[in-house]
Amino acid sequence: MSRIPIRIRLTLPFALAMTLVLAATGVFIYLRVGSALLASVDTNIRAQLAEAARDADEGHKIADADASEGPFLTAVARPNGDLLVVSSAAASAIPIRHDLTGETRFTTALPGLPGEWRVIEKPTSADGSPAIVAVAHSLAARTETLQRLSREFLVAAPAALLLAVLAGYALAAAALRPVEAMRRRAAAVSADEPGRRLPVPPARDEVRALAVTLNDMLARLEAAFEHERRFLSDASHELRTPLALLRGELELALRRPRSKEELERAIRSAGEETERLSRLAEDLLLVARADQGRLPIRREPVATADLLERVRRRFAARAEHRGRELWVAAAPDLRVDADVVRLEQALGNLVDNALEHGSGLVTLSASLANGSLELHVLDEGPGVPAAFAEHAFDRFSQADDARSTRGTGLGLAIVALIARAHDGDAGVGNRHGGGFDAWISLPRDS
């Protein structure tokens, strides 16, 4: 059944229903017409019966000369079965019941006569004595009418059914025409022509809802493709820069004999670029793993003060080299279940961002807010434009004044990935009075 086209699947139940309706209609009409014709026959018989009873009671003849050639047969008999009078010789074939107390009706075949006959009998009197009068009426005309009706119905019904099925198929095709239009448009949609959408029917029905849903899906897929294209473009750009610098340093070192100090500077510069490439490769691997699913998290209880202190010690030498200070402000009793390695990585990215783009004192703090534990990294720099804050956690996103620095633009994106892996969130903003604030918010019971 599933291999049958949907138009035919829609038409078949309609055809079956129409067949049942036409059959039921035909049976109903046949029975109604037959009943109406039989009622008409009974009316005529009763009129003839009343006339025959009156003639018998008055001693008159009950049949004319041509009565035997008509559709009526009349007989009058005594209760013991003796016939008093008949309209014709054929009338003697009428079966007369002799114990009648009232009118009786029945349909039967009369010996020697064709077809069925309708018989009505009732008690009467003849010459002042009890008698029974019976009138029979041929049902040949009724039978012929019903046969003609049956023949006409057997011809008309299939024609009507065929027309109904064709109309049902046409209606199904018309109802599916918007779906076919969407199918053709969907077949033409490709990544080379972004922005194309499926046609939305004007009627507010299920087909329109399907078109709107598919268009929303296309928009999401288009955004995902654009995101992937931008990611690949930015990643290739970020990889190209340190590779070009590394190649330039090595070519410059080999171009002519160098002193020990010059070679040392070249090797140190090459090492820095190699370190940057390694860090970028690790960041890209982390982002790729996050795109494939949730980051693997190994939770364990950790004191936030100890966590912040470890991060501070890790960046202490670098901060001192830049003439900056790192402080920790956290209550010793604050604890959280988290992946220590990933959380240190996220906080390290925030501190690295503060040392690269901020200025003044860098403070690492922990506090409770709205049932969540917030880990803040604050600096005293100029902050960032409000427009950048909305996209700070996008991959390869950098503020305009940070374009000249040698960051990869993945640091804050990785912070957001790690926060979401802990069922938390991350955010940035400018501090009142100047400075930049970046934080990670974790559920208190995580």
Residue 22, classified by CB atoms within 10 Å of its CB into exposed (0-12), middle (13-18) or buried (19+), is: middle
* 64 pLDDT more than 90: no
Domains 6-144 and 300-443 share a fold: no
Query: What's the CA gap between 285 and 229, in Å, rounded?
Result: 17
Per-residue pLDDT at 36: 95
Question: Would the CA dihedral through 271, 273, 274, 280 be positive or negative?
Answer: positive
Listed in sequence order, the residues at least 6 apart from 153 whose beta carbon sits closer than 8 Å to its beta carbon are 26, 29, 30
**Ranges 145-149, 287-291, 343-347: which has the least confidence:** 287-291
The CATH label, of 3.30.565.10, 3.10.129.10, 3.40.50.720, 1.10.600.10, for the domain at 300-443 is 3.30.565.10
Per-residue pLDDT at 103: 85
How many C-beta neighbours within 10 Å does residue 415 have? 26
Helix (H, G, I), strand (E, B) or coil at 132: strand
Q: How far apart, in Å, do the first and last CA atoms of the chain sit? A: 52
Per-residue pLDDT at 404: 40
* 333 pLDDT more than 80: yes
C-alpha distances (whole Å) from 150 to each of 31, 116, 163 are 11, 18, 20
* 293 pLDDT more than 80: no
How many C-beta neighbours within 10 Å does residue 208 have? 14
* 128 pLDDT more than 70: yes
* 39 pLDDT more than 90: yes
Contact status, residue 28 vs residue 186, Cβ threshold 8 Å: no
Q: Any bridge partners for residue 121, and if so which?
A: 104, 134
Per-residue pLDDT at 235: 67
* 412 pLDDT more than 50: yes
Domain 6-144 fold is Beta-Lactamase (3.30.450)
Query: What's the CA gap between 363 and 352, in Å, rounded?
Result: 12
Q: Give kind and range of the element (H or E) at residue 396.
A: none
Query: What's the CA gap between 383 and 386, in Å, rounded?
Result: 9
Could you tell me where the DSSP H helices lie in 338-423? 340-357, 386-389, 411-421
Farthest-apart Cα atoms in the chain, separation: 161
Q: Work out the pLDDT band at 69, boundaries 50, 70, 90.
A: very low
Range 368-378 burial, b when 16+ CB lie within 10 A, else e: eeeebbbbbbb
* Three-point CA angle 285, 291, 296, nearest 5°: 75
* 126 pLDDT more than 60: yes
Check residues 102 and 393 and name the one with the higher pLDDT.
102
Contact status, residue 166 vs residue 132, Cβ threshold 8 Å: no
Q: What is the DSSP string of 406-422?
A: ---S-HHHHHHHHHHHT
Average pLDDT over every residue of 64-85: 70
* 342 pLDDT more than 60: yes
**Ranges 37-41, 83-87, 110-114: which has the least confidence:** 83-87
Q: How many CA atoms lie within 13 A of 362 on its CB side?
A: 30
Average pLDDT over every residue of 62-76: 61
Q: Work out the pLDDT band at 70, boundaries 50, 70, 90.
A: low
Q: Which token pair is 109? A: 């075949």
Domain boundaries, the chain: 6-144, 206-292, 300-443
Q: Give kind and range of the element (H or E) at residue 136.
A: strand 129-138
Per-residue pLDDT at 25: 92
Q: Look up the CATH number of domain 206-292.
A: 1.10.287.130
Per-residue pLDDT at 407: 54
Percent of the chain with pLDDT over 70: 86
Q: Are strands 300-303 and 116-126 parallel, antiparallel or unpaired?
A: unpaired
Q: Give kind and range of the element (H or E) at residue 32.
A: helix 6-58
Check residues 218 and 289 and name the one with the higher pLDDT.
218
* 171 pLDDT more than 70: yes
Query: Angle formed by the axes of helices 140-188 and 6-58, to 10°?
Result: 170
How many C-beta neighbours within 10 Å does residue 81 have? 10
Q: Which token pair is 326? A: 């790192």
Q: Work out the pLDDT band at 32, boundaries 50, 70, 90.
A: very high
Average pLDDT over every residue of 330-339: 86
Q: Which token pair is 309? A: 């202190």
Per-residue pLDDT at 191: 66
Residues in the chain: 446
pTM: 0.48
The pLDDT tens digits of the residues spanning 238-258 come to 667 667 767 777 777 777 777
Average pLDDT over every residue of 98-118: 86
Query: Angle formed by the axes of helices 304-321 and 340-357, to 10°?
Result: 30
Per-residue pLDDT at 402: 43
Query: What's the CA gap between 405 and 399, in Å, rounded?
Result: 10
Check residues 331 and 189 and name the one with the higher pLDDT.
331
C-alpha distances (whole Å) from 222 to each of 110, 184, 211, 342 are 88, 19, 16, 31
* Three-point CA angle 186, 189, 194, nearest 5°: 140
